[in-house]
Amino acid sequence: MDNLFSSGFIFGHMNYWLFVVLMMTGLYIVVSRGNLLKKVVGLNLFQAAVFMLYISMGKVAGGTAPILTGNPDEVYSNPLPHVLILTAIVVGIATTSLGLALIVRINESYGTIEEDEVLALDQQQERDELAALEEEVLKSK
């Protein structure tokens, strides 16, 4: 247990600690905020944290950018996780833009982007439908 609190464990893994903090902050915002826009911001933060995880993973101590220089002893970072995360960044952008587009449409149809108000309007519509249904049944009798 002693190495758990050593400075190496804390500072040596700084990237990963930040990843965890950022990821949990993002996830917390998604869960706790009622504003649909803020949820998307939280989701973005959550995804950005994962980008950090992948980028840290590819880092080789003392390594440079992975470009062929002709020097066989050149130490360079692992480019693969970086390439992988480029894909994930594109996916993140697509998700964000789609989420924002949906929010615009929700605002147009519901007139609000607060989750509880949207939910209340949904439930209201459901109640209205059922009331109309009952009326119809009564009328036919």
Partner 1 sequence: MSALVNHSLILVVLIPLLAAPLCMLFGNRAVAFWISFFASLFALILSLHLLLMVIDGDVLSYHLGGWAPPLGIEYRVDAANALVLLIVSAISTVVLPYARVSIKDEIAEHHHTLFFACYMLCFTGLLGVAITGDAFNVFVFLEISSLSTYVLVALGANKDKRALSAAYDYLILGTIGATFFVIGLGLIYMSTGTLNMVDLSQRLAPLEDNKTVRTAFAFIVIGMGLKIAIYPLHRWLPGAYTYAPSAISAFLAATATKVAIYVVLRFMFSVFSAKFGFELDTVRLIFFPFAIIAMFAASLIAVYQVNLKRLLAYSSIAQIGYMLLGVALFSSAGLTATMAHLFNHAITKGAMFMAVGAIIMRIGSPLLPKMAGLGRQMPWTSAAIVLGGLSLIGVPGTAGFVSKWLLLTAAFQQGYWFIALLIVASSLLAVIYVWKCVETLYLTPSTSNVAVAEAPLSLLVPTYVLVIATIWFGLDASTITVASQTAAESLIGGGYGGEATVMGVEGRK
Which listed residue (66, 89, 95, 114) binds partner 1 by CB under 8 A? Answer: 95
45 binds partner 1 (CB under 8 A): no
* Binding residues for partner 1, total number by CB under 8 A: 37
Stretch that binds partner 1, among 4-12, 40-48, 60-68, 69-77 (CB under 8 A): 40-48
Among residues 93, 113, 136, which one has the least CA distance to residue 39? 113
136 binds partner 1 (CB under 8 A): yes
Which listed residue (17, 74, 75, 122) binds partner 1 by CB under 8 A? Answer: 122
* Structure-block tokens of residue 99: 């989420």
Least distance to partner 1, CB of residue 67, Å: 19
81 binds partner 1 (CB under 8 A): yes
Q: Which long-range contacts (CB under 8 A, 24 or more apart) does 48-53 make?
A: 48/22, 48/92, 49/19, 49/20, 49/22, 49/23, 50/19, 50/23, 50/85, 50/88, 51/85, 51/88, 51/89, 51/92, 52/15, 52/18, 52/19, 52/22, 53/15, 53/16, 53/19
Note the residues at the interface with partner 1 (CB under 8 A): 23, 27, 30, 36, 39, 43, 46-47, 50, 53-54, 57, 81, 84, 87-88, 91, 94-95, 98-99, 102-103, 105-106, 109-110, 118-119, 122, 125, 129-130, 133, 136-137, 140
